Amino acid sequence: MDRTLKTRLEARLGEHLRVPVYQRQDQTEIRIDPGSVPEVLRIVHDALDLRFEILADLAGVDTGDRMQIVYHLWSPMTTDWLRIIVDGISRDDPRTPSATFLWTGAEWLEREAYDMFGIIFDGNRDLRRIFMPPDYTSFPLRKDFLLPDDAARSTGAGVRHVEQAHTPAIVADNPAAGIRRTPAS
Amino acid sequence: MPARPTAPRPQNSRVKARAAQPQPQQQEPSADDPRVMLDRQLGTLYEPIPPYPTRTEREGEFYSLGDGEMFLNLGPHHPATHGVLRLVLKLSGEQVVDVDPVLGYLHRGVEKICENSDYYHVIDQVDPLEYVSSLFQEWPAVLAFEKLMDVQVPRRAEYIRVLSGELLRVASHTLFMGFQALDLGGLTPILYGFIERDEIVEMLAALTGARMLFNYFRIGGVNGDLNHEFMSRLGDWMSRAAKQSQAQSALLNENEIFVRRMRDVGVLDRATALRYGVSGPNLRAAGVPFDVRRAHPYSIYPELDFNVPTRDEGDALARYLLRVDEIRESIKIIDQCLNNMPDGPITAKLPRLLRPRPGRAWAAVEGPRGMQGVYAMSDGTDQPYRFRIHDPSFVNIQTVPAILPGGLLADTMAIVASLDPIMGGIDK
Amino acid sequence: MRAIPIRPVLAYPGQFWGRRSLVERLAMILIPAAMVAAVVTAVVLYLAIPPLLDFLGANFPLIRFFIAATAILVLTIPTAFVLIYLELKVIARMNLRVGPNRVGPWGIAMSLMPGLKVLSKEDFTPTGADATVFTLAPVVTFLASVMTLLVIPFAPGVVGLDLNIGLLYFFAMGGLTVLGLLMAGWSSFNKYSLLGGLRSAAQIISYEIPLTLSVVGVIILASTKTAQTLSLNHIVLAQSGSALDWFVFKQPLAFLIFFIAATAEANRTPFDMTEADSEIVAGFATEYSGMRFGFFFFAEYVNVFIVSALAATIFFGGWNAPFNWPWPVNLNAFQPLSYGPAVWFAVAAMVVLVGTYFLAMVVRLLGGRSWDAGSALVMGAIVIFVIVGGVVTLAGFIALDWVRGIVWFMAKTYAFVITFVWMRATLPRVRVDQLMGFAWKWLLPASLVNLFVTATAVLILNR
Q: What are the angstrom distances between the C-alpha of C246 and each of B404, C168, C317, C452? A: 50, 21, 5, 20
Q: How far apart are the first and last CA of chain A?
A: 21
Q: What are the pLDDT digits (tens) for A111-120?
A: 999 999 989 9
What does DSSP assign to residue B394?
Answer: H
Q: Is B261 exposed, middle or buried (0-12, 13-18, 19+ CB in 10 A)?
A: buried
The partner residue sitting opposite B277, judged by closest CB among A55, A83, A180, is A55
CB spacing of B185 vs C270 below 8 angstroms: yes
For residue B240, which of B278, B279, B210, B203 has the smallest C-alpha distance?
B203
| pLDDT of B154 | 94
DSSP string, B314-365: -SHHHHHHHHHHHHHHHHHHHHHHHHTPPPS-SB----SS--PPSEEEEEEE
Please tell me if residue C424 touches chain B, with a CB cutoff of 8 Å. Answer: yes
Share of chain C above pLDDT 70, in %: 92
- Output the domain CATH number for residue A77: 3.30.460.80
> Whole-prediction pTM value?
0.81
Q: Minimal Cα–Cα distance from B397 to chain C, Å? A: 18
* pLDDT of A169 strictly over 80: no
Query: Per-residue pLDDT averaged across C70-81, rounded?
Result: 88
Sign of the torsion angle spanned by Cα atoms A42, A46, A48, A49: positive
Query: Per-residue pLDDT averaged across A52-63, rounded?
Result: 92
Residue B44: pLDDT band with limits 50, 70, 90: very low
Q: Average per-residue pLDDT in chain A?
A: 83
Q: Where are the domains of chain B?
A: 111-427
Whether A127 is in a domain gets the answer no
**Chain B stretch 22-61, residues whose beta carbon is closer than 8 A to a beta carbon of chain A:** 22, 24, 27, 29-33, 52, 55-59
| pLDDT of B25 | 57
Q: What are the pLDDT digits (tens) for B213-224?
A: 999 999 989 998
**Residues A12 and A88 placed together within one structural domain of the fold:** yes
Residue B40: pLDDT band with limits 50, 70, 90: very low
Give ipTM to 2 decimals: 0.86
Q: What are the pLDDT digits (tens) for C390-404?
A: 888 887 777 777 888
Contact: chain A with chain C (3+ CB pairs below 8 Å): no
For residue B421, which of B195, B129, B221 has the smallest C-alpha distance?
B129
Q: What are the pLDDT digits (tens) for C351-364?
A: 888 888 887 788 77
Q: What are the angstrom distances between the C-alpha of A183 and each of A28, A119, C111, C315? A: 20, 22, 68, 86
Residue C276: pLDDT band with limits 50, 70, 90: low
| pLDDT of B30 | 57
- State the alpha helices, DSSP H only, in C247-340: 247-250, 252-265, 290-315
**Cross-strand pairs, B89:** B72, B99
The partner residue sitting opposite C431, judged by closest CB among B72, B79, B408, is B408
The top-level CATH class assigned to B111-427 is mainly alpha
Contact B252, B323 (CB under 8 A): no
Residue C122: pLDDT band with limits 50, 70, 90: confident
Q: What are the pLDDT digits (tens) for C148-182?
A: 888 888 888 778 888 888 888 988 988 888 898 88
| pLDDT of B159 | 94
Whether A116 is in a domain gets the answer yes
| pLDDT of C333 | 62
* pLDDT of A167 strictly over 60: no
Q: What are the pLDDT digits (tens) for C219-252?
A: 888 888 777 678 888 888 888 777 777 888 888 8
Tell me which residues of chain B have a C-beta less than 8 Å from any C-beta of chain C: 45-46, 48, 70-73, 78-80, 94, 181-188, 191-192, 195, 255, 257-258, 260-261, 408-413
CB spacing of B398 vs A105 below 8 angstroms: yes
CB spacing of B361 vs A27 below 8 angstroms: yes
Q: What are the pLDDT digits (tens) for A125-160?
A: 888 889 988 777 788 898 888 776 666 666 655 566
Give the separation between CA C128 and CA C191, rounded to whole angstroms.
12
Q: Average per-residue pLDDT in chain C?
A: 83
**Residues A23 and A68 placed together within one structural domain of the fold:** yes
* pLDDT of B38 strictly over 50: no
Query: Per-residue pLDDT averaged across B148-171, rounded?
Result: 93
* pLDDT of B326 strictly over 90: yes
Q: Phi first, then psi: what are they for A97, rounded to 5°? A: -70, 155
CB spacing of B21 vs A55 below 8 angstroms: no
**Cross-strand pairs, C153:** C159
Contact: chain C with chain B (3+ CB pairs below 8 Å): yes
* pLDDT of A185 strictly over 80: no
State which of A7-16, B161-170, C188-197 shows the largest mean pLDDT: B161-170
Q: Minimal Cα–Cα distance from C425 to chain B, Å? A: 6
Sign of the torsion angle spanned by Cα atoms C70, C76, C77, C78: positive
Residue B139: pLDDT band with limits 50, 70, 90: very high
Whether A50 is in a domain gets the answer yes
When scoring B87, B191, B258, B260 by the number of chain C Cβ atoms within 10 A, the one with the most, hence best to mutate, is: B191
* pLDDT of B33 strictly over 60: no
CB spacing of B31 vs A134 below 8 angstroms: yes
State which of B37-51, C167-181, C336-350 shows the largest mean pLDDT: C167-181
The partner residue sitting opposite B258, judged by closest CB among C195, C280, C428, is C428
The partner residue sitting opposite B52, judged by closest CB among A70, A103, A134, is A134
| pLDDT of C292 | 86
Residues from chain B that touch C276, judged by Cβ atoms under 8 A, are 185, 410
* pLDDT of B11 strictly over 70: no
Contact C243, C323 (CB under 8 A): yes
Would strands A120-122 and A95-97 be described as parallel, antiparallel, or unpaired? parallel
Q: Average per-residue pLDDT in chain B?
A: 85
Helix H or strand E encompassing A24:
strand A22-24
Counted domains in chain A: 2
CB spacing of B373 vs A129 below 8 angstroms: no
Whether A106 is in a domain gets the answer yes
For A111, the domain range is 3-122
Q: What are the pLDDT digits (tens) for C306-323?
A: 999 999 988 888 888 877
Q: What are the pLDDT digits (tens) for A63-107?
A: 888 899 999 999 998 889 999 999 988 888 889 999 999 999 999
**Residues A105 and A38 placed together within one structural domain of the fold:** yes
**Chain B stretch 398-427, residues whose beta carbon is closer than 8 A to a beta carbon of chain A:** 398-399, 402, 427
What does DSSP assign to residue B408?
Answer: B
Give the separation between CA A41 and CA A61, rounded to whole angstroms.
19
Q: How far apart are the first and last CA of chain C?
A: 115
**Residues A57 and A104 placed together within one structural domain of the fold:** yes
Share of chain C above pLDDT 90, in %: 15
* pLDDT of C5 strictly over 80: no
Give the separation between CA C91 and CA B252, rounded to whole angstroms.
17
**Residues A109 and A164 placed together within one structural domain of the fold:** no
* pLDDT of A57 strictly over 50: yes
Please tell me if residue B270 touches chain A, with a CB cutoff of 8 Å. Answer: no
| pLDDT of A156 | 58
| pLDDT of B37 | 45
